[in-house]
Structure 1
Amino acid sequence: MARVSQEHLDARRRQILDGAAICFARNGFHATSMQDVLKEVDLSAGAVYRYFSGKEALIAAIVEEVLGQVRDGFEEAALSSPPPPPDLLVSSVLGRVLESKEFLTVDGRPAFPRLVVQVWTETLRNDQLAGILHDGYSAVQKTWGRIVEAYQDTGMMRSDISADRVARTMMAAAMGFLAQQALFGPAPHEILRDGLRALMSVRDPYDTTGGSQLG
């Protein structure tokens, strides 16, 4: 019997994950059955269950993969000295993630933002998924904390605000942008870049220190 190559196994796993993501984005987790996934990917039950034990395992794998992509993008930026400014950093990482999923569509619209919102909703009832999401976001938050500290060390950002609070705000901006796409339709990630850039340019008219909080 011929040995199946790792490349073939990886491609089959990719096929199942992408098909499941489309199903979940289309109808939600609860309205999607494993039979729906089997039909979408055009594979037998045995072929799919070889990789995933069921719907919960598929959901967990999709969440872990997406969070890993986001974390890796920010980890790469954290290695730069200094890191790119927030407007470029957030939009570029989010843009890369969106572009890697742009072939996933539901009724001609991007499936990924809808899938993200489905995941957030599911965590309210699924403790296992909530744990995976918490761990993933915590890792991203820690990476962002290091990036903010690098900004502060180089004088790019005021140092009287905690790195954790800045990290949470940047993550909120990215999450909010995804939610907007799910609700109102696709939009280029440059919108997020330009909006953040404008906000970064605001000067406090009541700041009598002349911006001396930097450094």
Structure 2
Amino acid sequence: MTDAHREARRAQIRAAALRAFTAKGYQRTSISDVVAESGLSAGAIYGHYDGKQALFAAVAEEVLSRRGAEIEDASGGGPPSPLTVLTILTGGMTRDLEDGRLLVQLWAESTVDEVIHDVVQEVVGTLRGVLRGALRTWYATRPDLAPDGPDAAAELLLPVMLGLGQGFLMQRAMLDDFDPERYLAAAAAVLPA
């Protein structure tokens, strides 16, 4: 099996797992559900992943790491504003995750599962780095908003940006009457422009 074929098979398994986890939740999904969703054998899945926990971690890492790539891609035409970064972050998660419940479960599992916790720490660390870089670059073009310099301004806004992203995803997953456009409009009113 070539590396390209191996990665294609792993991507197929992750996509099937994402569908299964989204449909049934992490706790209620079994490897049998992933087998049924993927059309592969249990052996094929275990040949790539040690079990449900490792598969869940791989799915989470893939979904969250895409956001970093999208934010970096948006920097090609000049540094994106904090609102643009937030819009990219929330828009990508909305595309990847049907309703966000899976991400809420990931956060919950990370508080009680050491492996999932470590994955979340690593992926969020990477995401923080991307956000920090995007904010630093943007603040460098707006010295009037960064009296202590772009690094200090980026560090100050970084946890707020993460919180706004998590708040969007949490409310989207939990509240029947959540209005994403209104949320982003409110975020635009409080983020530096």
The TM-score range, normalised by the shorter chain, is 0.7 to 0.9
Query: Structure 2 counterpart of 1:46, which letter?
Result: G
In 1, distance between residues paired with 2:81 and 2:37?
Answer: 41
1:96 and 2:92 matched: yes
SS in 1 for 2:35: helix
1:140-199 CA distances to partner (integer Å, 9 max, x unpaired)?
A: 222222222223322266224642120111111111111111112596754443222222
Match of 1:198 in 2: 189
User: Is the CA contact (8 Å cut-off) linking 2:57 and 2:119 kept in structure 1?
Assistant: yes
Structure 2: 5+ residue runs without aligned partners? none
User: Is the CA contact (8 Å cut-off) linking 1:151 and 1:157 kept in structure 2?
Assistant: no
1:5-57 CA distances to partner (integer Å, 9 max, x unpaired)?
A: 935x4443333212222332333323322122222323211121122121111
In 2, distance between residues paired with 1:201 and 1:66?
Answer: 27
Match of 2:108 in 1: 121
User: Is the CA contact (8 Å cut-off) linking 1:24 and 1:115 kept in structure 2?
Assistant: yes
Report which structure shows greater RCO (CA 8 Å, sep ≥6).
Answer: 1
Task: Specify the structure having the higher radius of gyration (Cα).
Answer: 1
Match of 2:157 in 1: 166
Instruction: Please state which structure has a larger fraction of its residues in helix.
Output: 2
Mapping 1:1-215, distance limit 5 Å: 6=4, 9-78=6-75, 80-81=77-78, 83-99=79-95, 101=96, 110-111=98-99, 113-155=100-142, 158-160=145-147, 162-185=153-176, 190-200=181-191
TM-score (norm 2): 0.81
User: Is the CA contact (8 Å cut-off) linking 1:87 and 1:196 kept in structure 2?
Assistant: yes
Over 3 Å counting, the alpha-carbon distance change for 1:142 and 1:157 in structure 2 is farther
SS in 2 for 1:31: coil
In 2, distance between residues paired with 1:186 and 1:38?
Answer: 35
User: How many pairs are equivalent?
Assistant: 189
Over 3 Å counting, the alpha-carbon distance change for 1:164 and 1:200 in structure 2 is closer
